[in-house]
Amino acid sequence: MPTPPPIPYDHLPEVPALTVESVDVRDGERKPEAHVFNDWGMKGQNLSPQLSWSGAPEGTKSYAVTCYDPDAPTGSGFWHWVLFDIPAGVTELPTGAGTAPAFEGLPEGAQHARNDFGAKEYDGAAPPPGHPHRYIFTVHALGVEKLGLDSDATPAVVGFNVTANTLARGYIAPVYET
């Protein structure tokens, strides 16, 4: 599999780093089928991966978690998961926390915004054949308890508000190719 270009996060303000880890996905490695979309010709299980994070700075009042594909042939990338208002005491999401309809392990108060599939949940990888895509799972430590948005906010509006309130961020970026 060819190596994709570096992750294009140079446009975001520089902030301290969080450590983000997962037992399900690894940075730079192929995303397992369990975390691939189950439609559009894909046969994955569509499970959100387990994520844990550490190193949040003092003043962290909540978190947001996103999964973004910058390699989607759209001109604007593709948002697979937009989760915000995660309470500050939470430092891990179990496998399936973003997966409908059960949302097992989703922290109380956390909200899903509609992803680019049009659903308020995690939806997995579904790239066109022949091109490796990066799936950037980012955890943002925020300086506000709530973003003041509802689940109908677009990923861009959530991203704007997340960026304006980010104290620290970290990510892992598995890849997937059909």
Question: How many structural domains comprise the chain?
Answer: 1
Residue 85 in any domain: the answer is yes
Residue 11 in any domain: the answer is no
How high is the pLDDT of residue 3? Answer: 57
How high is the pLDDT of residue 154? Answer: 96
Mean pLDDT, 10 residues at a time, over the chain (178 residues)?
55 90 97 93 93 98 97 92 98 96 95 96 93 95 97 96 97 94
How high is the pLDDT of residue 12? Answer: 81
Residue 97 in any domain: the answer is yes
Residue 4 in any domain: the answer is no
How high is the pLDDT of residue 7? Answer: 56
Residue 2 in any domain: the answer is no
**Which range of residues forms the domain containing residue 67?**
19-176
How high is the pLDDT of residue 1? Answer: 54
131 exposure class (CB count in 10 Å sphere: 0-12, 13-18, 19+): middle
Residue 135 in any domain: the answer is yes
Residue 25 in any domain: the answer is yes
Q: CB of 61 within 8 A of CB of 54?
A: no
Cis peptide before 101 (omega within 30 of 0): yes
CATH number at residue 149: 3.90.280.10
Residue 3 in any domain: the answer is no
